[in-house]
Chain A
Amino acid sequence: MMTPRDALEVLAEVRGRHVVITTMTSAGIWPAISDTPLDFAYIPSSMGQGLSLGLGLALTQRDVIAIMGDGSLLMNLGSLVTIAQHPAHLHVILLDNGLYEVTGGQAVAGAGRTDFPGLARAAGLAHVFAFDDLEEWKANAGIVIAGPAPSFTALKVEGRLGQKTPLPPRPMSEQIARLRRSAADEPRTK
């Protein structure tokens, strides 16, 4: 198993010019790894909606990676069905730690038993991946992100106890302005 930071550092190496939407745990880690106009920390959020926000953005011809935890995905499982029916360039990265980490570490429903890649396949997503080993993720992350979308990748990561709700790197209005400015001069990656 890998730490969430290890998993995200690998992703940062291969994300190219994708917009990266982070939520919850990932939003607390990502700004220290990457903090460009293409990095969008979805804080404050409506839990579970980061994926749907990413789909909407991808439908405007942006290339998007949306990162969420298992607790968030469980609040919006239907979004997998919605994503599967749209040919948007959206890569979903799930950090599966079995916990509501930012509330202190309580177990999510079905922790350790839910087959998230199976759910994604059943929702109709054709490009589904799962990694629980850091070296395996390192070897394949570039292939996943350069590959067809929409895709779904489940990463088994270590749960951390005692975490606090992350703070945004800057006000939301500033994040939105940066992201929109970047649209004018950032070509699609493919």
Chain B
Amino acid sequence: MEERNVHSGSEFRIPNSTFRIMLDGPAITDSLQACGITHVVWIPDGFLGTWESALLRSSAIKLIRCCREGEAIAVAGGLLLGSAKPVVVVQCTGLFEAGDALRNIVHDLGLPLILIVGVRSQIAFEKGKSTDNCPAFIGPIVDAWKLPHSVLDPNSDGPGELIAAIRTFQRDNCAGVILIAE
């Protein structure tokens, strides 16, 4: 599947707000399939979890549920050793916890691990409406691990932007992180 020409997205509700999400489950699934992704290794949060039903419907992508984010990164590392094309999908809190696994798989083993990371409270934080410190730390943390990253806003960015970000990492055969503002 190539980039969708038309994608209307779907509504996503959080307390006191409703957003129209361009990067919903079907869009994510189609985009990952377009990039040849074979496995989604994940621990979902409230936003990422809305992708589950679409991911489960995919015949091309296997959903691997893990218990902890460092574990998810290592499972993806094993998949990469076996020449599969996984992507790890976790919330930023999990990435914070998983630093050593990330360091090892990316920098010790040199594997081109791609992660999609939900940044909790990012949208509200940018509007000055959240005291959650996740958005303040995720950028410096990703930089500290020397990982190139793209930032996508699921309200305005769509499959085309996601596919472009993934394909950039694939083309360069490097690890990278796609941050999804939540």
Residue in B64, B73, B104, B108 whose beta carbon sits within 8 Å of that of A59 in the complex = B64
A180 to B81 CA separation, bound complex (whole angstroms): 7
Task: Identify which of B49-57, B82-90, B153-161, B169-177 touches chain A.
Answer: B82-90
- Kindly list chain B residues whose C-beta atoms are within 8 Å of the C-beta of A81: 67
- Kindly list chain A residues whose C-beta atoms are within 8 Å of the C-beta of B100: 46-47
A102 CB-CB contact with B under 8 Å: no
**Would B110 and A173 count as touching, CB distance under 8 A?**
yes
Size category, B interface: 20 to 34
- Kindly list chain A residues whose C-beta atoms are within 8 Å of the C-beta of B73: 49
Contact A59 B70, CB 8 Å, known A46-B101, A82-B75, A172-B108: no
- Tell me which residues from 77 to 114 in chain B have a Cβ below 8 Å from any Cβ of chain A: 77-84, 86, 100-101, 103-105, 108-111
CB distance from A62 to the nearest CB of B (A): 6
Q: Which residue of B lies closest to A80 (CB)?
A: B67
Size category, A interface: 20 to 34
A3 CB-CB contact with B under 8 Å: no
**Would B75 and A176 count as touching, CB distance under 8 A?**
no
Residue in B66, B83, B84, B86 whose beta carbon sits within 8 Å of that of A82 in the complex = B66
- Kindly list chain A residues whose C-beta atoms are within 8 Å of the C-beta of B68: 76, 78
Q: Could you list which residues of chain A lie within 8 angstroms of chain B, going by C-beta atoms?
A: 44-62, 76, 78-79, 81-82, 85-86, 172-173, 176, 179-180, 183
Q: Could you list which residues of chain B lie within 8 angstroms of chain A, going by C-beta atoms?
A: 39, 41, 62, 64-68, 70-84, 86, 100-101, 103-105, 108-111
